[in-house]
Amino acid sequence: MSMLGSIVLILVVLVLIVVVYLVLRNIVKLLINSVLGLLILFITNYFHLMGYFGKPDIPISWLTVIVCALGGIIGAALLILLNLLGIPI
């Protein structure tokens, strides 16, 4: 292999390492956000916090879990707000 081929190979490997690092860093952030969103939903229902506003608990269904998993904390806040407005999902 020529010297130019070796340099190109080293650069490609370095770019791949940087891309993998950035992707994994973002995946960890998304995973933590998803777990926190599901935890907020669970705590809201466990302590019956919606009852303080005269509303029933948020039903745990596949749709609410998916919204919390994809939306994280914002998804849980959206579900709580919709439930307070009388639009349960």
Angle at 79 between CA 51 and CA 87, to 5 degrees: 75
Mean model confidence pLDDT for the chain? 91
Alpha-carbon dihedral 10, 13, 19, 22, rounded to 10 degrees: -80
Residue 1 is predicted with a pLDDT of 62
Q: What is the pLDDT of residues 6-32, one digit of tens each?
A: 899 999 999 999 999 988 888 988 899
